[in-house]
Chains A and B, each alone.
Chain A
Amino acid sequence: MSPYFTAADQFAVNPALLLALFGCGILLLDFFIQPNPKSKRLLIFLALAGEAFAAGALLRQYKLIDEQAVVALRGFSGSLIVDGFSIFFNALFAAAAVLVVLISYRYLEVEGEHNGEFYGLVLLAQCGMYFLASGTELVTIFIGIELMAVTFYVLVGFLRGDRRSNEAAMKYLLLGAFSSGFLAYGFSLLYALSGSTRLDQIATALAQRPAADPLLILALATTMVGLLFKIGAAPFHMWAPDAYEGAPTPVTAYLSVASKAASVAVLVRVLMSTLGAHRINWEPLLAVAVLLSLTIGNFSALTQTNMKRLLAYSSISHAGYVLLGLIAGNRTGLTGIAVYLLVYTFMNTGAFLVLISLRQKGLTGDDIDDLNGLIHRSPGHALLMALFLLSLAGIPPTAGFIGKYYIFLSLVETGHFALAIVAALYVAISIYYYFRIVRAMFLNEAGQLPAAVPGLGASLGFLLTAAGTLAIGLFPEPIVRFAGSSLLR
C-alpha cells in the first residue's frame, strides 16, 4: 500500500475534512464579525453551506459505491472505510446537524448566549461522528469519540451564565472522561490480544481464541462499558438526565440523537464484524444492559415533571430498543437499528423543537405543566407535539411504528420471545408518560403562558421533522431500502 496520501484516502475522508474546515472557519470568522444577531446569521449560512458541501461529498461516495457495485472502499491503509453502513449513518448525522443548526438560532437569542462558535462546534462534533461511522481502526475510532465528546462537553455547558448548564457539563465531563478510560483500556486489551489495531485483523486474530478466555472477556466488557456509556444505556446512564436537562435544548436534541447513533454505529461494527465470533460472550451482557435500560428508562420517566428529563429517560429506553436489534443480530435486526435511529432523529428532534419554539424569555417552559392547554394557545405546536409523541410511543401510522416493527420482528425471527414480550409491555408503559404530556396539552386547562410564534428556522425544522415522522410512517419503502443498503457485509 502506498505510504502517501492518495486519492482514495482523500475520497474516504472528504466529508470529514470539509466539516472540519468549515467548523474551524466559523470559529475563526467569529472573531472578525460584528457581535450582532444579523451578522451572526452569516455564520448560520456558513454552517449550512458546510453541511451542503459535506453532503455533496457523501453523495459522491454513495454514487461511486452504487455505480461500481462494490461493497466498500478503504482509505488510509484500512483505517477508514466507505460502505453502505458508513454512508447511512453519516447521512443521519448530517440530518441531525442541519436540524440543530436550524433550531438553535432563536434559542440562543432567547438565552442571550448567541455566540458563533456554537455552529463551529456542531460541525466539529459531526466531524468526530464521521470517524465513528467510518473508522475501522481502534485509534481512529478513539480519536473520533474524543473529538465528539469534547465538543459536546463544551456544547452542554454553552450557557455560561446558567448554573444548571455548568453543572451538567461538569458532570458529563467527569463521567465521560471516566468512560473514555474504560474504552481506552478495552481497546488496548484488544490490541494486546491481537497485535493489531485494525478491526478486520483483530477479528481474524480473535476468532482463534477460546470463548472463555478471561482477557478477551475483560476486553469485551470494558469496550462495551465505554460505548454503552456514550449511548446512554443503563446501567451507565447516570449522566444522561442531568446533562440533558442542563444542556441548551438544541444540544440536548443533538446529544440524544446523533451522539447516540454514532456510538451505536461503533458498537454495531465492533460487536458484529470484529467480535461476531464471540457472540456467546457479549450477548448476555448486552441483554442485561437492554433490560436495565428499558426498565430504568421507562419507570423513571413515569414520575418526571420536567420535559427534558422525561425525554432523557425515554431516550434511555429507546437506547434499549435499539440495542435489541443488536441482540437479534440478523438482517432484520440490523436494518431495524438503522431505521430506528433515523426515525428517532426526526421524532425526538421534533419533540425538542416544540420545547425550543415554546421557550420564552424569562420563562423556562420546560415543565410539563407549562404545556397545559397548549391546544388553546398554539394548536399547531400541540398537534406537532402529539405527532412526535405518538411516534415515540410507536403508534402507527407514524414513523416510530416502523422502527418498533423491525425490532420486534427481528426478536421474533431469532426466537427471543421473552425479550420480545418484555419489550412490548414496556411500550404500554411508555404510553403512560407520553400521554401525560398529551393530557397536559389537550385536556388540562390553559396555563398563563402567551402564544408562541415559530421563527423561520423553527418552521423549517418543524417541516423537516414532521414530514420525516409522517412520511416514513406512511411510505416507509424508500427509507427501508436505504437502511437495507446499509447492512454490514
Chain B
Amino acid sequence: MNPLSLALWTPLACLVVLLAIPASQKTAIKVWANAAALLGAAAMLPLLAGFDKSNGGFQFVERAPWAPSLGVQYYIGVDGISLLLMALTAVTAVVATLSSWNAIEDRVKQYYAMLLLLQVGMLGVFASLDFILFYVFWELVLVPMYFLIGVWGGPRKLYAAIKFFLYTLTGSVLMLLGILTLFFQHWTQFGTPTFEIDALLRLAMPFWMQQWVFWALFIGFAIKVPMFPFHTWLPDAHTEAPTAGSVILAAVLLKMGTYGFLRFSLPLLPEASIDRTIVQVLVGLSITGILYGALVCLMQKDWKRLVAYSSVSHLGFCTLGIFSLNPNGIAGSVIQQLNHGISTGMLFLVVGVMYERRHTREISEYGGLAHRMPLFATVFAFAVLSSAGLPLLNGFVGEFTILQGAFEANRFSAALAVVGVILGAAYLLWLYQRTTLGQITNMKNNLLPDLSLRELVVFAPFIVWAFSIGLYSKPYFEMIERPVARIVERVRPGYFQDRSQAPALAELAPPAAPATRREAGGSR
C-alpha cells in the first residue's frame, strides 16, 4: 500500500476500532485514542524517511478513478510543504488527544471519534491533488469541529459552533464556484473533465476570469486563515472550543487557508496573483490583520481570547509572506505556519492547564503563578518566547524570513510588519507578567498543583520541536526549497534567471540563503 494512503487512512481505521469499544469503557477508549494518535504519527515516519528533498514535484503519488463522469479522482501526493503540514497535523493530534485525558469526562467515545474524524479530514486536505477531493476533505473537517465546539465547549459554545460553521461554509461554497469555473475552463480548452491540479495548471485563462476565480477562492481561504476582516468567527470559536479543539484549530485548521493560497491560488492563477491591485489589497489586509490583531490582544482581559487574537496577528505574517511573492517570503510563510502551530498550540495548552485548575480565563484572576507552579512558569515562558519570536526558538526563524521577503517586495509594508513584531512581544510578555510574575494576589491560586507528568509529556513534543527549528532550521528550508521555487517560478517566470545574473547570488541562493543567515542570527 502507498505509504501516503496508509498515513491518510490510519485514523479512519482507528476510528472504526474505537466505535467497537463500548461507551462505558472510558479508560479503554482513552487508551485506544492515544494509541491511535501515536499510530497516526508513526504512519508519518515512512513518508518523512522516504521523502526526496531534491525532487520538487509530488511524491508518494497515488491515483485511482473515483467518479470519472464527474472528472473526480482519488489522487493524492505530497511535496515538502504539504508533508510538513501533515507532520504538524499528526503531532498536534497526539498532543490534543493526550491533553484531553482529564479535561473530557462527558461523552468520551463521541469526543475521541470526532478527533479522529477531524484528523482524517485535515490530512486529506493536505494530501489531495484533486480539487474536488480537496473540497470533500475541506468540508469533512467542519462537521467534527462543529461538534467539538458545540458539545464540549465553553459557555457560549452553541453560538460559537454555528458561527464557525456558517462562516467557513459561506467561504467554501463560493470557493466551489471558483473550482467549477476552473473545471469548466479545462473542459472547454482540452475536452477532458478533470479536477487534478497538474492538468488545471495548463489552463490559459483570460485575465478577468482569473480575477474572478481568484476572488472566489480568496473568500474560501481568507475566511479559513482568517484574514482581516473575515476573522470575527475566530475569537469565538477558539475561546469556546475545548482545549484540544483550540489547539487543533490554531495549529492545523487555520493552515488549511494559507495552504490553499500556496497550492491553488498562486500556481493556478499566476496572473491574478501578481496583479498589482490584488497584491496591494492582500498585503494591506495582512498588515491590517497583524496590527489590528496585536492591538486587540493588548486590550484583552480574557486569557484565551488574547491567544485567539494573537493568531489573527500571526497569520497576518503568513499571508504577508505569501504575497511578497518571492522565495524568502513564501518559505518563511511555510515555516511560520509550522511555528504558529507549535507556539500557539502551546499557548492554548497553557490556558487549558490553568482552566482545568481554576475554571476561569480572566487574566486578572491570576498573578504570581510562578511561585506555586515553577514548572508551569517555565513551559509557559517557552511558549511565550517562541510565539514572540525570540532568537534560538522557532518563531524568530519564520518571522525573520518573512520580513526579509516583505522587505524585498515593499519596504514600507515590511516596516509596518516590524511594528507588529514589537507589539507581539509586548502583549505576550505583558500577559506573562500579569499571570505568572509578581506576588500571588488571589488566594485561590495558592494551592494550585504544578504540572503533572502527563501534562509535561503533552508539552514535550512542541517544546522539542520549537528548539529544533530554532537551532537548526536548515532541513526544513531544504524540504520546502524546491516546491517554493516552483511556485515562485510559476507566478513570476524568470525570477531566478534574473537573480542568477546578479553577481552576489548563486543559482539557488535565495531559498538557501535564509538558512545560513538563520544560524548567524541564532548565535548572535
Please name all residues of chain A whose beta carbon is closer than 8 Å to the beta carbon of B173 when the two chains form the complex.
Answer: 424-425, 427-428
- In the complex, the answer to whether A435 meets B68 with C-beta atoms within 8 Å is no
B509 within 8 A of A: no
- In the complex, the answer to whether A481 meets B180 with C-beta atoms within 8 Å is no
Q: Which residue of chain A lies nearest to B107 when distances are taken between CB atoms in the complex?
A: A375
B184 within 8 A of A: yes
- In the complex, the answer to whether A439 meets B184 with C-beta atoms within 8 Å is no
A162 within 8 A of B: no
The 0/1 profile, CB within 8 Å of A marked 1, for residues 166-190 of chain B is 1001100110110011011000000
- In the complex, the answer to whether B184 meets A409 with C-beta atoms within 8 Å is yes
For window 381-436 of B, CB contacts with A under 8 Å fall at: none
Distance, CA A428 to CA B180, complexed state (A)? 18
Distance, CA A461 to CA B136, complexed state (A)? 27
Distance, CA A439 to CA B157, complexed state (A)? 11
CB distance from A385 to the nearest CB of B (A): 14
Please name all residues of chain A whose beta carbon is closer than 8 Å to the beta carbon of B184 when the two chains form the complex.
Answer: 409, 412-413
Distance, CA A484 to CA B67, complexed state (A)? 13
Distance, CA A256 to CA B278, complexed state (A)? 46
A475 within 8 A of B: yes
B: number of interface residues (CB 8 Å): 34
CB distance from B327 to the nearest CB of A (A): 35
A480 within 8 A of B: yes
Please name all residues of chain B whose beta carbon is closer than 8 Å to the beta carbon of A477 when the two chains form the complex.
Answer: 66-69
- In the complex, the answer to whether B170 meets A412 with C-beta atoms within 8 Å is no
**Given A476-B70, A477-B68, residue A412 in contact with residue B180 (CB < 8 A):** yes
- In the complex, the answer to whether A428 meets B69 with C-beta atoms within 8 Å is no
- In the complex, the answer to whether A408 meets B151 with C-beta atoms within 8 Å is no
Please name all residues of chain B whose beta carbon is closer than 8 Å to the beta carbon of A409 when the two chains form the complex.
Answer: 180, 183-184
For window 418-436 of A, CB contacts with B under 8 Å fall at: 420-421, 424-425, 427-428, 431-432, 435
A397 within 8 A of B: yes
B142 within 8 A of A: yes
- In the complex, the answer to whether B140 meets A397 with C-beta atoms within 8 Å is yes
**Given A409-B180, A428-B173, residue A443 in contact with residue B158 (CB < 8 A):** yes
B139 within 8 A of A: yes
B147 within 8 A of A: yes
CB distance from A340 to the nearest CB of B (A): 14
CB distance from A371 to the nearest CB of B (A): 15
Please name all residues of chain A whose beta carbon is closer than 8 Å to the beta carbon of B165 when the two chains form the complex.
Answer: 431, 435
B460 within 8 A of A: no
The 0/1 profile, CB within 8 Å of B marked 1, for residues 405-420 of chain A is 1001100110001001
A91 within 8 A of B: no
Q: Which residue of chain A lies nearest to B174 when distances are taken between CB atoms in the complex?
A: A424
- In the complex, the answer to whether A435 meets B162 with C-beta atoms within 8 Å is yes
- Scoring B66, B68, B150, B169 by chain A CB atoms within 10 A of each residue's CB, the highest score goes to B169
Specify the main secondary structure of chain B where it touches its partner.
helix
A: number of interface residues (CB 8 Å): 31
**Contact partner, A397, options B68, B136, B174, Cβ 8 Å:** B136
For window 134-165 of B, CB contacts with A under 8 Å fall at: 135-136, 139-140, 142-143, 146-147, 150-151, 157-158, 161-162, 165
Q: Which residue of chain A lies nearest to B150 when distances are taken between CB atoms in the complex?
A: A443
- Scoring B173, B177, B181 by chain A CB atoms within 10 A of each residue's CB, the highest score goes to B173
- In the complex, the answer to whether B142 meets A424 with C-beta atoms within 8 Å is no
- In the complex, the answer to whether B174 meets A442 with C-beta atoms within 8 Å is no
Please name all residues of chain A whose beta carbon is closer than 8 Å to the beta carbon of B68 when the two chains form the complex.
Answer: 477
Please name all residues of chain B whose beta carbon is closer than 8 Å to the beta carbon of A421 when the two chains form the complex.
Answer: 174, 177
Please name all residues of chain A whose beta carbon is closer than 8 Å to the beta carbon of B212 when the two chains form the complex.
Answer: 417
CB distance from B215 to the nearest CB of A (A): 11
**Given A397-B136, A428-B166, A432-B166, residue A412 in contact with residue B174 (CB < 8 A):** no
A447 within 8 A of B: no
Q: Which residue of chain B lies nearest to A409 when distances are taken between CB atoms in the complex?
A: B180
- In the complex, the answer to whether A412 meets B177 with C-beta atoms within 8 Å is yes
CB distance from B151 to the nearest CB of A (A): 6
Distance, CA A134 to CA B152, complexed state (A)? 53
9 contacts between A and B (CB under 8 A): A412-B180, A424-B176, A431-B165, A435-B146, A435-B162, A439-B161, A442-B151, A443-B161, A475-B67
Chain A residues with a Cβ under 8 A of chain B: 375, 390, 395-397, 401-402, 405, 408-409, 412-413, 417, 420-421, 424-425, 427-428, 431-432, 435, 439, 442-443, 475-477, 480-481, 484
Chain B residues with a Cβ under 8 A of chain A: 66-70, 110, 132, 135-136, 139-140, 142-143, 146-147, 150-151, 157-158, 161-162, 165-166, 169-170, 173-174, 176-177, 180-181, 183-184, 212
> Knowing that A412-B180, A425-B170 are A-B contacts, what are 20 other residue pairs whose CB atoms are under 8 Å apart, sorted by A's residue number?
A395-B142, A395-B143, A395-B169, A396-B139, A396-B140, A397-B136, A405-B176, A408-B177, A408-B180, A420-B177, A424-B174, A425-B174, A427-B173, A428-B166, A439-B150, A442-B151, A443-B150, A443-B151, A481-B69, A484-B69
